[in-house]
Amino acid sequence: MLIVMTMAATAKQVEQVIERIAALGLKAHPIPGAQRVAIGITGNQGAVEPAVFENLPGVLEVIPVSHPYKLVSREAKPENTVVMVSGVPVGGDNFAVFAGPCSVEAPEQTLTVARAVRKAGAQILRGGAFKPRTSPYTFQGLGEPGLVILRDVGREVGMPIVSEALDERSLELVTKYCDMIQIGARNMQNYSLLRLAGQTRMPVLLKRGMAATVEELLMAAEYMLAEGNYQVVLCERGIRTFADHTRNTLDLAAVVAVQRLSHLPIIVDPSHGTGKRHKVVPMARAAAAVGADGLMIEVHHDPSQALSDAAQAVVPDELAQLIQQLPALLPLTGRHLSRALRLSA
Ligand code: PEP
Ligand code: MN
């Protein structure tokens, strides 16, 4: 259930509604909007009686939420959410490019790729230190030393960093070293990990599970919002289908579907979405045209030597050309390239 306050409602009236919710043993989630405050209610097993709130001063309306997610819904917050990643806005009219190697392999490799993606115009540096690999015999990532490398390189080039957390322990480490936590496709329905990420107050990049519906993606995000963390960016990264011309099927219609249902930003990862280097840039352009809020692109200066996802890594020049093409596409959906506020290097 959602309680929408009038535009003229005072802070005291909002507080009274929150107190009434708490008195019923439920959890209140005030959601400030541009026009008015909405208050989401969670923790109820069945329906809550609207009459309890309808006559409280400052209440405009009480809306029963028909779908299972509440706080991520546009009903809860009509305006687009902008997530700030250490100075870089993602969402709203800001289009952000996340780029970097699939894995942090070594200090020189990470620095070389980071310098190149920054020069190409990317705003956020990615790099995995805890890798969820299909085979236990392949490179599993450098672990904590990898995060140290990524942090140092991020500082050196002046870019915020994002890295994947696989479990509770790696979540603690990613929280310590990074600006944003990535929850990967394989963990999208790891509800205990989602709750823990929700208890941090860090931005989270939540990737769509490879067999997850849009509703399941939104429900996964809801876990974090329900814990009080509203800084969630969604990511379409392809789903498993019968098609074998790509690694996954990049579902760009999911971007449109999510934007209709939710206020959260959604970016697109055409690297995992296609798995093939020659398909990455064309699908990245398509994502920009469809109205995504950003891109995540895997880049390597020498893809043949990459320790993971070599087949889908683009070289820095390809990223640079793509980013040069974005200003022709982004105005179509009222967006512009996000500008990093932190300037250095
Ligand atoms: C990644 O971004 O490195 C990754 C493993 O992605 P996904 O979880 O989408 O497979
Ligand atoms: Mn990868």
Tens of pLDDT along the chain (345 residues)? 899 999 999 999 999 999 999 999 999 999 988 888 999 998 887 778 888 899 999 999 998 887 888 999 999 999 999 999 999 999 999 999 999 999 999 999 999 999 999 999 999 999 999 999 999 999 999 999 999 999 999 999 999 999 999 999 999 999 999 999 999 999 999 999 999 999 999 999 999 999 999 999 999 999 999 999 999 999 999 999 999 999 999 999 999 999 999 999 999 999 999 999 999 999 999 999 999 999 999 999 999 999 999 999 999 999 999 999 999 999 999 999 997 644 444
Using most ligand atoms within 8 A of CB, pick from 272, 299, 307 the residue to mutate for ligand 1.
272
Q: Which residues line the pocket of ligand 1, CB cutoff 6 A? A: 102, 128, 132, 184-186, 207, 237, 272
Superfamily for the 83-337 domain: Aldolase class I (3.20.20.70)
Beta bridge partners of 268: 236, 295
pTM of model > 0.75 = yes
User: What is the structure's pLDDT at 340?
Assistant: 61
User: What is the structure's pLDDT at 118?
Assistant: 97
Any idea how long the chain is?
Answer: 345
Top CATH class, 2-63: alpha beta
- Domain-by-domain residue ranges, the chain? 2-63, 83-337
State the DSSP H helix or E strand holding residue 14, giving kind and residue range, or none if neither: helix 11-23
- Mapped onto helix, strand or coil, the DSSP state of residue 122 is coil
